[in-house]
Chains A and B, each alone.
Chain A
Amino acid sequence: MNGMKLLRCFCLLMLFCAALPARAALNIEISGAGEHQTPIAIIPFAGEEKLTQSISGIVSADLVRSGLFKLVDPAGKAPHEPREVVYADWVGTDALAIGSVEEQPNGRITVKFRLLDAVRQTELTGQAVSAKSDQIRAVAHRVADLIFEKLTGDAGVFGTRIVYVNRQGKNNRLVVADSDGYGEQVVLSINEPIMSPAWSPDGTHLAYVTFEPGHAAVYVQSLLTNQRMVVANFRGSNSAPAWSPDGQQLAIVLTRDGGSHIYLVKPDGSDLRRLTFGGTIDTEPCFSPDGQSLIFASDRGGSVQVYRMPVDGGPAERLTFEGKNNFSPRYSRDGKSFVFSQWNNGRFYIATEDFQSKQMQILTEGGWEKKPSFSPNGKLILFATESQGRGILATVSSDGRVKQKMSTQAGDIRDPMWGPFLKQ
């Protein structure tokens, strides 16, 4: 049991979570399915009827949303311990999740669950997850992550967060929310545009751009203290912040010296160093996971294409050769590919390209699809798009099969970025 590690994880989670509303701020629709959908039954946990939210319900919703699972209705069967399971009842089901919830006297809850292989009739894993009693959703997401990892081999992202901008009329709000749309937390609310929010690698800070000084300027804000710092407010436009993997510096784009070029700077605005030169537009830099390279969008060759250069300066290598223009590149977490937005045939498409094979794959049907970013397990891509004239968010799985649309009650949402795994 790794109880201590989990307890530390939840202490961090508590710092990020405001009081959680019972209703999601985002409405989610799923379409498509994975190549294989594992049939799984999530049996309501013993004791969960005493809680304000159903843990097994949240776990079920998480697994269904991934597109990789098909829920089997328990139809009244309610085993809570392995010895209560009658395997003959579960023909056609691959896995069973059973468990119990205990409210501790100190105001915490402990969820004990087991994941059983219904075919081999063995236990795949058994864990205990604990947190403060107002962190029910976080506990449920952790259970879903553990089940997901055991059955797919990939880390789950149900406990991760996303950032986006919600615009209603003149008002713009920078919002952090759980990846299922709950737990919305307004980080900034102003009557000027906000763009390009970027998570720091440890999830404690956001860098972003606003037009508060009358032009685009870059800020960094702590999610723990809400303290803001100006990173860059030179003449012209200051924009496109991207964090280095060690969180020690930002790549930004400035126009103060003519053209739009990439600079490196510390998050407090000091130690500015210029990386690209010439009269063209270089923008949307993104660090590689090893911190050694930057990919970026540039029109130095005429059309806008994705290039890669060493982080300490040097010649850039062109990476994209298809479509009319290619924008907004972001590295995958393993550094082997990148996702980007391609303008072609009068539409934007989300596409990925492998560095080694140079193979490009278009993942979407095309529309106003912009600003893609990978989930921290590299299996999903979050991006901004439009539906019925309103800005919404969407995800697509890295194989293109499973899609989600995420819309808000009022206004447009745009400029999303998927946050990191929380440090454990």
Chain B
Amino acid sequence: MKKLLISILLVNLLAACASQKPKEVVSEAPSKPTAETSSGATQMAEPAAPTTPRVAMDPLSDPNSILARRSVYFPFDVSAVQDVDKPIVEAHAKYLSEHAERKVRVEGNCDERGSDEYNLALGQRRADSVKKMLEVGGTRDSQVEAVSFGEAKSRAKGHDEGSWAQNRRADFIYIYK
């Protein structure tokens, strides 16, 4: 029994080491000079208390910007970006093309009406289709990682269209290293 517990511990350690989830420290301000600022203020290199308030208006932090929209939705069994969502994808594409240092992970999701494996593939197709549209809009391949969770990380758990519609979704997750 002890041996089994030690083995499980070791496996968990291995798993922890293998995890490569990028850290998302959303509160960190961008430090590169290319960051847009509305008032022309210089870059904030140090997080020290500023003497005058600096407003680094990175559009990604602006809740009123279209870039605040981080999800697009799909009809059943469809992976093409819908007309109503095209402006969102195009806006992110434009932003990424103008900020070559920015990286984003597009995560595809599905509702439960397929096998887990088919849903993983469909979610990937959704993520890939969004990525393609980003690239058409000027984003570089190296800026976008397209992944799928299928139905494994579904947001809504009901067996009804209300839940299903929420789960048929691709999300933009910006990565701050």
Q: Which of B10, B115, B125 contacts A260 (CB under 8 A)?
A: B125
Verify if B122 is at the interface (C-beta below 8 Å from A). yes
Measured CA separation A226–B9 after assembly (Å): 11
Distance of B127 from chain A, by nearest CB (Å) = 8
Using an 8 Å CB-CB cutoff, how does the interface string of A181-219 with B read, 1 for contact, 0 for none?
A: 000011111101101100000000000001111111000
Which of chain B's residues has its CB closest to A216's CB?
B120
Q: Is the CB of B116 within 8 A of A195?
A: yes
- What is the CA–CA distance of A18 and B7 in the complex, to the nearest angstrom? 12
Q: Contacts A186-B8, A213-B18, A214-B22 given: A283-B149 contact, CB under 8 Å? A: no
Q: How far is the CA of A368 from the CA of B158 in the complex (A)?
A: 12
Can you name the residue of chain B whose Cβ is closest to the Cβ of A303? B77
A188 & B15 in contact (Cβ 8 Å cutoff): yes
Shortest A297–chain B CB gap in Å is 6
* B121 and A281 contact, CB distance less than 8 A: yes
The distance in angstroms between the C-alpha atoms of A341 and B116, with both chains bound, is 11
B32: interface (CB < 8 Å): no
Confirm or deny: B112 has a beta carbon within 8 angstroms of a beta carbon on chain A. Answer: yes
CB atoms of A258 and B20 under 8 A apart: no
The reply on A370 being an interface residue by CB < 8 A is yes
Interface pair A18/B15, CB less than 8 Å apart: no
Shortest Cβ gap from B2 to chain A (Å): 10
Number of cross-chain contacts by CB at 8 Å: 117
- Residue interface bits B63-89, CB-to-A below 8 A is 1, else 0: 000000000000000000000000000
Q: Which of B14, B115, B146 has the most CB of A within 10 A?
A: B115
Query: Given known contacts A236-B146, A239-B120, is B12 in contact with A304 (CB within 8 Å)?
Result: no
Give CA–CA (A164, B7) in the complex, Å: 19
A408 on the B face (CB < 8 A)? no
Q: Is the CB of A304 within 8 A of B114?
A: yes
Q: Give, as a whole number of angstroms, the nearest-CB distance from A258 to chain B.
A: 7
- The complex places the Cα of A78 from the Cα of B35 at a distance, in Å, of 88
Number of B interface residues, CB 8 Å?
A: 38
A189-B12, A226-B7, A368-B112 are contacts. A211–B152 as well, Cβ < 8 Å?
Answer: yes
CB pair B124–A415 under 8 Å, yes or no, is: no
Which residues of chain A have C-beta atoms less than 8 A from B12's C-beta?
189-190
Interchain CB contact under 8 A, A281 and B125: yes
Residues on B with beta carbons closer than 8 Å to the beta carbon of A93? none
Q: Give the CA-CA distance A190 to B18 in the complex, in Å.
A: 12
Given contact pairs A211-B152, A226-B7, A371 touches B105 in the complex (Cβ within 8 A): no
B residues 81-119 touching A (CB-CB < 8 Å): 105, 112-118
- The residue from B1, B4, B7, B118 contacting A283, defined by CB atoms under 8 A apart: B118
- B139 adjacent to chain A (CB < 8 Å): no
User: What's the Cα separation between A327 and B128 when bound, in Å?
Assistant: 22
Contact, CB under 8 Å: A341 / B115:
yes
| Chain B residues within 8 Å of A, Cβ to Cβ | 1, 4, 7-8, 10-12, 14-15, 18-22, 105, 112-118, 120-125, 128, 145-150, 152-153, 159
Show 13 residue pairs from A and B whose CB-CB distance is below 8 angstroms, ordered by the A residue.
Answer: A18-B4, A189-B8, A193-B153, A195-B117, A212-B20, A228-B11, A237-B123, A237-B124, A239-B120, A259-B125, A283-B117, A283-B121, A368-B112
Listed from nearest, the 6 A-B pairs whose CB atoms lie closest are A327-B115, A260-B121, A215-B147, A193-B152, A226-B7, A281-B121
